[in-house]
Chain A
Amino acid sequence: MRADLKAISELVAPGTRVLDLGCGDGVLLRHLQDNLGVTGYGIEIEPAGVVASIGNGINVIQMNLEAGLSGFDEHSFDTVILSQTLQAMKHTEPLLRDMLRVGRECIVTFPNFGYWKNRLQVLAGVMPKSSDMPYEWYNTPNVHLCTLHDFEALCQRVGARVLQRIVISNGKPIHALPNLLGSLAVYRVSA
């Protein structure tokens, strides 16, 4: 299982209601259902992801996140998850605000653009590529990459409190100089 998904499953309380935004093939929700007994719903836009999610036995709703979560009531979920999708959203700020409205807590994960290997590549004069960001600049779905500092500034702007932060590199937690040494960030935030 992807390192950030493993980290997420440690942050979700058993038996709660979970909404996974951009659930892909549904493996995270399936894992949370099987191991934590959560009541989960996934949201996915891609037809292949929707079909794969159905095959994985999760409740999937085909919907475009860019249109927001207007169909969901305030605090209708215990946890709203956005894993490795933040950086690919066009309407990043409105979505984060919507997540804070719908979920009592939110978990957001994204590749840290401030990771030293990314910085080195920029310094060398090229756009960074890594296992977390495996795309070329011309075909990447990532339109809003950010660093830990950038994300925390956005949190402050939308009134999100950071409850917990896990920073990972090579599947291991990083404690010192996270914005430099961590390749992947996992945040637990609430309104």
Chain B
Amino acid sequence: MNAKARSVGDVTPLTAHFNQALVLSSGAELPEFDLVYETYGTLNTNRSNAILICHALSGTHHVAGTYGGDARTAGWWNNMVGPGKPVDTNRFFVVGVNNLGGCNGSTGPASINARTGKPYGASFPFVTVEDWVHAQARLADHLNIDCFAAVMGGSLGAMQALQWALTYPARLRHAVVIAAAPKLSAQNIGFNEVARQAITTDPDFHGGDYYAHGVIPFHGLRLARMLGHITYLSDDAMMEKFGRELLAGKHKFSLEVEFEIESYLRYQGDKFTERFDANTYLIMTKALDYFDPAASSAGNLSAAMAKTKAATLVVSFTTDWRFSPARSKEIVKSLLDNALPVTYAEIESTQGHDAFLMENEHYFSVVRTYLNRVAQEVNA
């Protein structure tokens, strides 16, 4: 980490309201919607130094900085984004946005549907990565950003960066695609389906309209998150962190929490239910499942990527088994096939999929050096 790196400090979320209807991939239409977002750094006079950061499954617009000076409220990529950090807010104007269908202020299933005066609940339309990108482009218009210096993200966020390169090739110079896959495998979809089943079969789910009943599908959402956490960590990282440690030091021959890993998963599950909406979890996992930019080119990713223009940085992590390095290499190959500028780093890490959120010297040097180049290119 750069010695002079610091936090962006306290930040305040903003809300942009869009009156013009958004037609979604499903054919459904949102007559109007809100997007909540945060910005860090300063947009330069020629508006060339903006970086859009897209969040993953459970992320938010709160990428960096804190609320009310409380360190516990630090943004989810606070180690990556800030003055002197790899995404240097002394040079770049960084935008974090909460996606449609989210539960952090942007229009989502818990929002009030103006037509009915009630929360959308089950009637909130399913959205795709492409829909998110269209909505984010509206936000870019709102901020008067014609062309991003870079659009970046990890995991599902990286898929949005890739989709930006496909949908709006003239509106970004670089895509930074971290811990991604060009589409989910059957195994990936399988995990998502188990998570969804946990939620939808919870007696408190009420077909998605649980808001009216004053309950949440707590048990289902908790299970979904517990399962997710297993897939985010590597076997080694889990063993290293928890081993077979017993809380009581001996077997209790009961179903109470015995192993450290059980305690961790239950805690993570519980904590998640306090901040996340189950319907959003369903929508986000469906968006992941649907993502397949090669589908419109008969499954040929190289053919699909032919319409992109952005230079791309692809990063993967050796122990990520959710989206393994092999999946990132599929993206790299599709760019190579089109003679597009591409850089690929495969980071040695024991942290599994979660590694994209962790500080790691090689990883951060790669991003820092790459974005330095971008800064020079756009005179940031």
Which residues of A are interface residues toward B (Cβ below 8 A)? 17, 39, 41, 47, 50-51, 54-55, 57, 59-63, 71-73, 76
Query: Does A71 contact B366, Cβ atoms closer than 8 Å?
Result: no
Q: Which of B100-108, B179-187, B258-266, B336-344 contacts A (4 or more CB under 8 A)?
A: B336-344
The residues of B that contact A72 with a CB separation of less than 8 Å are 336
Query: In the assembled complex, how far is the CB of residue A55 from the closest CB belonging to chain B, in whole angstroms?
Result: 5
Q: List 19 A-B contacts (CB under 8 A).
A: A17-B339, A41-B336, A47-B345, A47-B348, A47-B362, A50-B366, A51-B362, A51-B365, A51-B366, A54-B343, A55-B373, A60-B344, A61-B332, A61-B343, A62-B344, A71-B329, A71-B332, A72-B336, A73-B337
Query: In the assembled complex, how far is the CB of residue B179 from the closest CB belonging to chain A, in whole angstroms?
Result: 15
The residues of A that contact B345 with a CB separation of less than 8 Å are 47, 50, 62
The answer to whether B372 has its CB under 8 Å from any CB of chain A is: yes
A50–B341 Cα distance when bound, in Å, is 15
Query: Does B369 contact A55, Cβ atoms closer than 8 Å?
Result: yes
A62–B346 Cα distance when bound, in Å, is 6
Query: Does A54 contact B366, Cβ atoms closer than 8 Å?
Result: yes
Query: Does B373 contact A57, Cβ atoms closer than 8 Å?
Result: yes
Give the residue of A17, A47, A60 whose beta carbon is less than 8 angstroms from that of B343: A60
Query: Does B339 contact A61, Cβ atoms closer than 8 Å?
Result: no
Query: In the assembled complex, how far is the CB of residue A29 from the closest CB belonging to chain B, in whole angstroms?
Result: 12
Contact with A along B327-359 (1 / 0, CB 8 A): 001001100110101111110100000000000
CB-nearest residue of chain B relative to A73? Answer: B337
Which residues of B are interface residues toward A (Cβ below 8 A)? 329, 332-333, 336-337, 339, 341-346, 348, 362, 365-366, 369-370, 372-373
Most chain A beta-carbon neighbours within 10 Å: one of B342, B369, B370: B369
A50–B342 Cα distance when bound, in Å, is 13
**Residues A71 and B373 in contact in the complex (CB < 8 Å), given A51-B362, A59-B343, A60-B343:** no
Query: In the assembled complex, how far is the CB of residue B302 from the closest CB belonging to chain A, in whole angstroms?
Result: 10
The residues of B that contact A50 with a CB separation of less than 8 Å are 345, 362, 366
The residues of B that contact A55 with a CB separation of less than 8 Å are 369, 372-373
**Residues A54 and B339 in contact in the complex (CB < 8 Å), given A61-B332, A62-B345, A62-B346:** no
Q: Which 5 A-B pairs have the closest CB atoms?
A: A47-B362, A61-B344, A54-B369, A51-B365, A62-B346
Query: Does A71 contact B343, Cβ atoms closer than 8 Å?
Result: no
The residues of A that contact B337 with a CB separation of less than 8 Å are 73, 76
Query: Does A59 contact B346, Cβ atoms closer than 8 Å?
Result: no
The residues of A that contact B341 with a CB separation of less than 8 Å are 59
CB-nearest residue of chain B relative to A43? Answer: B344
Give the residue of A51, A54, A62, A76 whose beta carbon is less than 8 angstroms from that of B336: A76
Query: Does A39 contact B343, Cβ atoms closer than 8 Å?
Result: no
Query: In the assembled complex, how far is the CB of residue A110 from the closest CB belonging to chain B, in whole angstroms?
Result: 26
**Residues A63 and B370 in contact in the complex (CB < 8 Å), given A41-B336, A51-B362:** no
The residues of B that contact A17 with a CB separation of less than 8 Å are 339
The residues of B that contact A51 with a CB separation of less than 8 Å are 362, 365-366, 369
Query: Does B373 contact A54, Cβ atoms closer than 8 Å?
Result: yes
The residues of B that contact A57 with a CB separation of less than 8 Å are 373
The residues of B that contact A76 with a CB separation of less than 8 Å are 336-337
The residues of A that contact B344 with a CB separation of less than 8 Å are 60-63
13 further interface pairs, Cβ-Cβ under 8 Å (given A62-B344, A62-B345, A62-B346): A17-B339, A47-B362, A50-B345, A50-B362, A51-B362, A55-B369, A55-B373, A57-B373, A61-B332, A61-B344, A71-B333, A72-B336, A73-B337
CB-nearest residue of chain A relative to B376? Answer: A57
The residues of A that contact B329 with a CB separation of less than 8 Å are 71
Query: In the assembled complex, how far is the CB of residue B300 from the closest CB belonging to chain A, in whole angstroms?
Result: 13
CB-nearest residue of chain B relative to A53? Answer: B343
A131–B129 Cα distance when bound, in Å, is 55
Query: In the assembled complex, how far is the CB of residue A166 from the closest CB belonging to chain B, in whole angstroms?
Result: 28
Query: In the assembled complex, how far is the CB of residue B360 from the closest CB belonging to chain A, in whole angstroms?
Result: 10
A17–B337 Cα distance when bound, in Å, is 11
CB-nearest residue of chain A relative to B372? Answer: A55
**Residues A54 and B346 in contact in the complex (CB < 8 Å), given A17-B339, A41-B336:** no
A165–B7 Cα distance when bound, in Å, is 57
A37–B337 Cα distance when bound, in Å, is 19
A41–B372 Cα distance when bound, in Å, is 19
The residues of A that contact B369 with a CB separation of less than 8 Å are 51, 54-55
Query: In the assembled complex, how far is the CB of residue A22 from the closest CB belonging to chain B, in whole angstroms?
Result: 15
Query: Does B373 contact A59, Cβ atoms closer than 8 Å?
Result: no
Query: In the assembled complex, how far is the CB of residue B355 from the closest CB belonging to chain A, in whole angstroms?
Result: 14
A63–B336 Cα distance when bound, in Å, is 14
Query: In the assembled complex, how far is the CB of residue A61 from the closest CB belonging to chain B, in whole angstroms?
Result: 4
CB-nearest residue of chain A relative to B344? Answer: A61
A63–B344 Cα distance when bound, in Å, is 9
Query: Does A59 contact B366, Cβ atoms closer than 8 Å?
Result: no
Query: In the assembled complex, how far is the CB of residue B177 from the closest CB belonging to chain A, in whole angstroms?
Result: 14
The residues of A that contact B336 with a CB separation of less than 8 Å are 41, 72, 76
CB-nearest residue of chain B relative to A60? Answer: B343
The residues of B that contact A59 with a CB separation of less than 8 Å are 341-343
Query: In the assembled complex, how far is the CB of residue B75 from the closest CB belonging to chain A, in whole angstroms?
Result: 25
Query: In the assembled complex, how far is the CB of residue B312 from the closest CB belonging to chain A, in whole angstroms?
Result: 9
Query: Does B342 contact A61, Cβ atoms closer than 8 Å?
Result: yes
Query: Does B339 contact A39, Cβ atoms closer than 8 Å?
Result: yes
Query: Does A54 contact B332, Cβ atoms closer than 8 Å?
Result: no
